[in-house]
Structure 1
Amino acid sequence: MSQDQVLIVDDEWNMRNLLRIYLMQAGFGVREAASGREALDLLRANAFDAVILDIMMPDMDGWQVCGELRAFSAAPVLMLSARSDTKDIVKGLKIGADDYLPKPFQPEELTERIRALIRRSRQSRIQAGHVRKLELPGMTIYPEGREVLVHDTPVDLTQKEFDILLLLAENEHRVYSRDMLIESLWGNDYAGDYRVVDTHVKNIREKVQRAGLSYTPIQTVWGIGYRWQRE
């Protein structure tokens, strides 16, 4: 099973770095956004298991971000702020936040609250019958749980391998260039080798076929990039 993925939204680099260290030490996968707009773009393009959302940000405050993301995402939100007035807490919960933790905080409390939010969110979706899944020939993808099954056999994908697989599967009639995949999954500030996409695609193909898939789900479109192929 892949790591639970948490999005950190805070305009202060020091706080994002601190949160990233705490969460990664606790076993979570982490993405970061330095603004509300960047966070909403990431949430539209990726499935996150939880969001840690600062309130005081310059372009959009946390309340605005929470209100907008609730229009398209059910990811549990932990609001994190130095503001601890009861009215601020109530405002965040009314807008759609699931929990509120004032600064300063203990790392153990933060990570346990995130685990509890993810656990409750999954349980409520199961009870309501709202667990989303993509049924494909020989393969089932559970976006929120970040799980891939090939004929009921789990496939152990890395974070980026899962992200690529899901993005292509959800947009099967669209061709993605390497640049588009990098921008969607790594961000505009990526400075590494774009051929890393080819390596991830190669690994995905090998893993799903080793698990028993009889076809190659990701097709190379020569000179352009990649697209999903059902069979």
Structure 2
Amino acid sequence: MDRIVLVTGGSSGLGKAVAARFRADGDTVFVTGRDAGRLGRAAAEIDARPIACDATDPGQVARLADELGPDLDVLVNMAGRNTDLDDDSPAEGLEGVLAAWRANLDANLLSAVLTTTAVRGKLRPGGTIVNVGSIGAEYASSSYGAAKAALAAWTAGLSSEVGPKGVTANLISPGYIADTDFFHGKLSEQRREALIDATHNGRAGRPADIADTTFFLASAGARHITGQTLHVNGGAHTTR
């Protein structure tokens, strides 16, 4: 079956890896990103269909929904980042705190809420929503962690809303993943080693780990998995 798949934030890193995994299976894959040039190059490389869109902008998200067409089978909300790493000189005082928290909530929570709200009516029975959180949600001492924790809570509630239509909704929570630009070059070697040492299997995660888990959640074998957070971190955070 040729599924229709939408991956937000698909122009690089994990989003691009996820999009490529579905495309390798023959699915029709749409990818979004804020930078139209970079998005177009990535889409051409993996044979996906690009739609430039800032997932925090309601108008752009509405246009994205219009361009997709009437049907959708898989939605992967990958768009997001730690906006604290964007600015080396954040504003000071309470106004700075407010701006920093709003930026991360917009990028990591509201982007997924807006996109899902805009396209969920297109999801066919048997469809799948996959949101992407972070191991940082387990500590949530920062605006990024808190935003990802809120995303996980929202995903659990979303599952009950889309379930009657035969659609699943889950969240993948990655740990440290190498070969991405998440840290913008600001990850020290000492910190990188500490993140790997925290795992049980002694290695960093790879984009393929997230891509394959996402692909599984959209498969027939995962139809009874919904409302869950799946931790993909090599044991750096465990549940019971």
TM superposition score normalised by structure 2: 0.29
- Pick the structure with more helix per residue: 2
- Specify the structure having the higher radius of gyration (Cα): 1
